[in-house]
Structure 1
Amino acid sequence: MLWGTTGTVQALAPEGVHPIAIGAVRLAIGGLFLLLLSLGKIHWRGWPLKGTVAAALCMALYQPFFFSAVSMTGIAIGTVIAIGSAPVIAGLLEWGIKRKVPQASWWASTALAIAGCILLFTNRGSVVADPRGILLALGAGASFAGYTMISGTLVNRRETLPVVAVVFMLGAFFLTPFLFLYDLSWLMEARGAGVALHLGVVATGLAYLLFARGLVKVPASTAVTLSLAEPLTATMLGVFLIGESLDALSWLGVGLLLLGIVLLVWGQRGKSELDKGQVRSA
């Protein structure tokens, strides 16, 4: 839900701010915030360098993909396509790379999510979906799925906070050139500074820390599908705060997305109870 505020906050930024600049600033502030929290907890001996670099690249790519998509297609549509595509990609990655077939509840909830995204895509309200924005949103979905799968492996080998801090600081380093290509004078304005701090501290640092801790307990495919709470939040904020409008079919799509989340949570809860029962039996 914290992630779902990013598109709306971007829309409230000072006029003329480039979406790539917002993404770069977001990652830089978020990474610095997490690094400060993890001081003294980072131990470099035996650090999984390849996985860290791969996760950082995925997160760095996600920023320009996502914010550019939202600027082209609107908050609701851009976020739904970006995050709605991620569960499918994450499930396929787990299946293809880890040979781990997702649970039945994942298949059902993902099908509902896809149907919901399709209905939102057909929206005939005030938002028009730009084909270029759709491709960028799909790129964001793939980047997010890759980050989730890799991070799931990292947090099972290392403490969560240091892993997230290092990944985000490295991701911010990859985006550093963009800080010199775009105007950053908006950060000197009160509204611009507020937008940057919210995106960096709340919607990045805190949100990804919570997400990474969740990855310790659930598979990457399940975690990504649960993150569909983001487009639901973004859609509601886009409609009620920014003034975007959705037609009846799009509202049905929102309902299907919500149903998919509920189904996945129910399925994961049932699996946890089954695992506990097996442990007690043993």
Structure 2
Amino acid sequence: MPSSAASSTGRAHTPVTSVDSSDGPRPGAAPSPARRAAGGGRGALLILAAASLWGTTGTAASFAPAAASPLSIGAVTMGAGGLLTLLLAGRSALRVLRAGGGQLWWALLGGLAVAVYPLAFYTSMARAGVATGTVITIGCSPVFAALLERLLHGTRLTLRWLAATLSAGAGCALLTLTAHGGTTVGDDLPGGVALALLAGACYAVFTCYGARVIRAGHSSRAAMGALFGLGALVLLPVLAATGGPLLTDPRGLAVGAYLAVVPMGLAYVLFGAGLARVTAGSATTLSLFEPVVAAVLGVAVVGERLGGWAWAGTGLVLLGLLVLTVLTVPVRSRKRTAAG
């Protein structure tokens, strides 16, 4: 979930599948508990790697031209980056779109969420302030994702997930709200909060529907390519309309290229591979590692300073993620009965 938070200075349900070592699960027999746990642990590491790359977005954006709008930065990140993700997936993404039926609808819903997410997120920060928009977006997405998984295919909401999410969410709030000594409130707080909630819901939607496409038998690269390729169809025109100051400056072009290739293209390949191995609710909780990386880079690269409360928030985020990663995060969905 790319953001400029702490360092921004300027599934019809299918049975559990075996874990393929290359690009995600393929239909087959259910793995042993040991192998499922190992796959969950590897999936958690892949999500954390993706979140680490997302955490570089704010530092990279700080080098963009001052006239570049947050909207254009969001559009270049997930618009140009989405097109790159589609190209990397190649024909496998087209197979998702040609599958028809439920799979096509999942891809369309996920693609729509991909398109709305950065527009809502970056506008929420402009209206409600960077800290407020970021905290609400990042903090609510694990809740939306877990509720969606519960509603769509009965994934259990465990006490471990709840404890990890509460710890990481509280830490994220502390870190973001105190990183600059307090919140910076925009001129439309209610509108900004509403847009942040929309952004968090969109992030949960494309995570959940991306997972459904994967568990229907497609590779994670194909699923991400299809969803983000569809999102790019909406975001690239937005970039064309708003990206003048970003795309006409050599430094802006360099920033845009980095955002599209690394925090978007590479990160979402990693995210998709991790999503094939963990639940969407756990994936969104693990992605709360992003503001920790953003804060560290803000201190090390941008020259920001963090107080005691911000470091305490960092500790809470790490504690919550430790609960998930050390105990592993296997995909555990309750099977629906065929009859009745």
Asked if these proteins are the same fold (TM beyond 0.5), I'd say yes
Q: 1:115 to 1:177 in 2, by over 3 A?
A: same
**Contact map agreement 1:7 1:67 (CA 8 A) in 2:** no
Trace 1:1-282 onto structure 2 (pairs within 5 A).
1-41=52-92, 42-43=94-95, 44-47=97-100, 48-70=103-125, 73-74=129-130, 78-120=133-175, 122-123=177-178, 125-130=180-185, 131=189, 133-157=192-216, 158-268=218-328
CA shift, 1:141, in A, is 1.8
Q: Kindly tell me: are residues 117 and 31 of structure 1, through their superposed partners in 2, closer, same or farther at Cα, counting changes over 3 Å?
A: closer
Note the residue ranges of structure 2 that are not aligned, 5 or more in a row.
1-51, 333-340
Taking the aligned partners of 1:151 and 1:33, their CA distance within structure 2 comes to 17
Relative distance call for 1:198 and 1:180 in structure 2 (3 A) is: closer
Are the counterparts in 2 of residues 86 and 142 from structure 1 also a CA contact under 8 Å?
Answer: yes
Question: Is contact 2:98-2:104 (8 Å) kept?
Answer: no
For 2:257 and 2:176, locate their aligned partners in 1 and report how far apart those are by CA, in whole Å.
31
Q: How far apart are 1:133 and its partner, in Å? A: 4.6
Partners of 1:73 and 1:127 within 8 A in 2? no
Alignment check: 8 A CA contact 2:170 2:313 kept:
yes
Range that drifts further, 159-168 or 127-136: 127-136
Distance 2:261 2:215 in 1: 24
1:189 is displaced (CA, Å) by 2.2
Do 1:121 and 1:129's aligned partners in 2 also have CA atoms closer than 8 Å? no
Amino acid aligned to 2:215: N
Matched residue count: 271
**Is the Cα contact below 8 Å between 1:127 and 1:245 reproduced in 2?**
no
Note if contact 1:83-1:231 (Cα within 8 Å) is conserved in structure 2: no
Flag the 1:252–1:201 CA change in 2: closer, same or farther, 3 A. same
Structure-2 separation of matches of 1:35 and 1:141:
23
Q: 1:73 to 1:29 in 2, by over 3 A?
A: same
Q: Distance in 2 between matches of 1:49 and 1:84?
A: 29
1:70: Cα distance to partner?
A: 4.7
CA contact 2:164–2:321 (8 Å) conserved in 1 = yes
Q: Kindly indicate which of the two structures has a greater share of residues assigned to helix.
A: 1
Please report the RMSD computed on the Cα atoms of aligned residues, expressed in angstroms.
2.5
Q: 2:67 corresponds to which letter in structure 1?
A: G
Corresponding residue of 2:49: none
1:120 positional shift: 3.4
Between 221-230 and 126-135, the greater mean CA deviation after superposition: 126-135
How far 1:27 moved relative to its partner? 2.2
Tell me how far apart the structure 1 counterparts of residues 162 and 177 of structure 2 sit (CA, whole Å). Answer: 23
Cα distance change on mapping 1:39 and 1:103 into 2, 3 Å: same
Unaligned 5+ segments in structure 1 are 275-282
Q: In 2 relative to 1, CA 265–109 (structure 1 residues): closer, same or farther, beyond 3 Å? A: same
1:19 and 1:64 in contact (8 A); partners too: no
Tell me the secondary structure at the aligned position of residue 228 of structure 1: helix
Amino acid at match of 1:231: P
CA shift at 1:247, angstroms? 3.0
Q: Give the CA deviation at 1:170.
A: 1.0
- CA distance in 2 between counterparts of 1:181 and 1:153 reads 33
1: CA distance, partners of 2:176 / 2:61: 21
1:36: how far off? 2.4
Counterpart position of 2:335: none
* 2:172–2:288 CA contact under 8 A, matched in 1: no
Query: What is the letter of the counterpart of residue 90 of structure 1?
Result: A
After superposing on structure 2, the runs of 4+ consecutive aligned residues of structure 1 that deviate more than 6 Å are none
Note if contact 1:127-1:244 (Cα within 8 Å) is conserved in structure 2.
Answer: no
Asked whether the equivalents of residues 83 and 232 of structure 2 are also in contact (C-alpha less than 8 Å), the reply is no
TM-score (norm. length: structure 2): 0.72
